[in-house]
A and B are shown apart, each in its own frame.
Chain A
Amino acid sequence: MATIDRRPGIRPRASLGRRLDVMARVGFPACTTVLLMLLTQAPLDIPEQAALLPAVALCCVWFWSLFRPGNLPPPVVFLIGLFMDLLGYLPLGVGIFTLLAVQAAALGMRRPLSRRGFFWIWGVFAAVAAGAALLIWLLTMLLTFHLLAPYPAIFVAALSIALFPLLAVPFAVAHRSVADPDRA
């Protein structure tokens, strides 16, 4: 699909190398999310390792939906959610719905949050992650017709909240450097 660049300003000619560079930068959020999700499935032998997958996915979708929503559009989040359902053995659709809901929350709060500092973003994410973990728990119970213990959901929420700063720091650096298409 050939899109015409309508932005003002002078920039170098769109050579093949430059276009590849832009593509890599645009694809950075989605690719790192998928790679990190795959990494959580590696045989690391950490107790409760399964909780890492939803936690990582929640952190990534929240961060990139706030900072580069154009490079993590809803269809990509849909695919990431499907990937999470398949990898994490959740009933199909649970991860998709949850991640889309997280993205909707991020897009809705983008404007007020952009004026605040990191701790605000983290604080709001804590509430969103808790809601998302609750949503996964409720939907899984609904779709499997089983009562499930709430502890895994609480653990997923706590792990997401704890993991967010660890992921947000390198993401913030990437956001200003390798993930910025304008710097191509």
Chain B
Amino acid sequence: MLRLSIQARQALARLTLPVLIVASFGIMLLGKADTLIAERARIALGDGLAPIFAVLASPLGHIRATIGETAALWDMREENARLRDENEKLRRWQSIALALDAENRRLKASLNWIPDPGASFVTARVVADAGGVYARAVLLSVGPNHGIRKGEIAVDERGLIGRITEVGSRTARVLLITDLNSRIPVMMETSRAHAILVGTNGPRPRLQYWPEGILPQEGERIVTSAEANAFPANLPIGTVHYSASGAAEVEPAAMLQKLEVVRIFDYGQTGVTAPESISPTPGRH
């Protein structure tokens, strides 16, 4: 061991902090110069932690379910009445939907319509938030031989939630439609006008760049557009809602705050790479 005088050792101890602060600037530059390093380190960390979180999820889920159950018992009567009302309404809608479905099939048959190819999907559990304070993303726990690729589309039971941006051996990261970096080509369902859905990190992404002469209507349904070949057409996203300041926003149909299980569809779209994967490819290093 190196023998140092007490003064030298004290001087060294006092120097550690400034040197490390300078090193942190170095790390910032490194992270900026090579975004892949951070991405790989995060995926490796996520792969390591995902099994722990998956194990933790079940007891935590039990606790949450018990609390939810107690709360549900409390207002069961009101809930029951509300559900009966809703059921009535939905039954009416169901008959309309069945009639429309039959009509649709008749019309398609008379047009010799080529149906869209069915997409294959896998289901995965959300194990952790993967966005931090300044991003909106979730981490999925997937099996070892999952075959999930970047750019695939994640959907919950109600609508689009986002796209896969990073894939590890046991985990995949989904960038949510509310993230600041998310840009999605969409279509307004009644006017059939195209627009871009821009994430803001807030709960409701913003609608931008719709054509002149058309205004998004409050409550109008927004679906994905097949433009740019990044998404299949007509996946439900949400409904238009004007904010207090008059900006057209979209209330997502998916429950982005409490995602538990999501489906990942492989539509074989290759048009646009997902936002975070626009980093230099490993081959160029």
Which chain B residue shows the least CB distance to A73?
Answer: B16
A140: chain B residues within 8 A (beta carbon): 134
The answer to whether residues A86 and B20 also contact, given A2-B1, A97-B28, A156-B133 and a CB cut-off of 8 A, is no
A107: chain B residues within 8 A (beta carbon): 17
How many angstroms from the CA of A104 to the CA of B18 in the assembled complex?
9
| B28 and A143 contacting across the interface, CB-CB below 8 Å | yes
How many angstroms from the CA of A88 to the CA of B57 in the assembled complex?
19
A44: chain B residues within 8 A (beta carbon): 60
How many angstroms from the CA of A3 to the CA of B211 in the assembled complex?
74
Binds B, one of A114-122, A146-154, A173-181: A146-154
A5 in contact (CB, < 8 A):
no
| A148 and B134 contacting across the interface, CB-CB below 8 Å | yes
Question: In terms of DSSP, what is the predominant structure of the interface of chain B?
Answer: helix
Question: In the complex, which residues 88-104 of chain A have their Cβ closer than 8 Å to any Cβ of chain B?
Answer: 88-94, 96-97, 100-101, 103-104
| B53 shortest CB reach to chain A, Å | 6
Beta-carbon contacts of A145-174 to B below 8 Å, as 1s and 0s?
A: 010110011001000000000000000000
How many angstroms from the CA of A117 to the CA of B277 in the assembled complex?
51
A67 in contact (CB, < 8 A):
no
B49 in contact (CB, < 8 A):
yes
| B135 shortest CB reach to chain A, Å | 5
Which chain B residue shows the least CB distance to A149?
Answer: B201
B131 in contact (CB, < 8 A):
yes
Binds A, one of B30-38, B150-158, B222-230: B30-38
Binds B, one of A8-16, A35-43, A124-132: A35-43
Which among A38, A100, A146 has the greatest number of chain B C-beta atoms within 10 A?
Answer: A100
B45: chain A residues within 8 A (beta carbon): 86-87
| A91 shortest CB reach to chain B, Å | 6
- How many residue pairs link A and B with beta carbons under 8 A? The number is 120
| B175 shortest CB reach to chain A, Å | 11
Beta-carbon contacts of B184-200 to A below 8 Å, as 1s and 0s?
A: 00000000000000001
B128: chain A residues within 8 A (beta carbon): 41-43
B132: chain A residues within 8 A (beta carbon): 50, 53, 87-90
Beta-carbon contacts of A102-115 to B below 8 Å, as 1s and 0s?
A: 01100100000000
| A93 and B25 contacting across the interface, CB-CB below 8 Å | yes
| B1 and A92 contacting across the interface, CB-CB below 8 Å | no
Which among B17, B31, B127 has the greatest number of chain A C-beta atoms within 10 A?
Answer: B17
B130 in contact (CB, < 8 A):
yes
How many angstroms from the CA of A44 to the CA of B129 in the assembled complex?
10
Q: How many interface residues does A have (CB within 8 Å)?
A: 50
Beta-carbon contacts of A43-62 to B below 8 Å, as 1s and 0s?
A: 11101011101100000000
B21: chain A residues within 8 A (beta carbon): 97, 100-101, 104
B135: chain A residues within 8 A (beta carbon): 89
How many angstroms from the CA of A109 to the CA of B227 in the assembled complex?
59
B164 in contact (CB, < 8 A):
no
B42: chain A residues within 8 A (beta carbon): 86, 89
B111 in contact (CB, < 8 A):
no
A75 in contact (CB, < 8 A):
yes
B32: chain A residues within 8 A (beta carbon): 91, 143
| A146 shortest CB reach to chain B, Å | 6
The 3 closest A-B pairs by CB, nearest first: A92-B31, A93-B28, A89-B132
Interface residues of A (CB under 8 A from B): 1-2, 38, 41-45, 47, 49-51, 53-54, 73-75, 77-78, 81-82, 85-94, 96-97, 100-101, 103-104, 107, 136-137, 139-140, 143-144, 146, 148-149, 152-153, 156
A-B contact pairs, 12 of them (CB 8 A): A41-B129, A42-B128, A45-B60, A74-B17, A89-B135, A90-B133, A91-B38, A92-B38, A93-B24, A100-B17, A104-B21, A148-B180
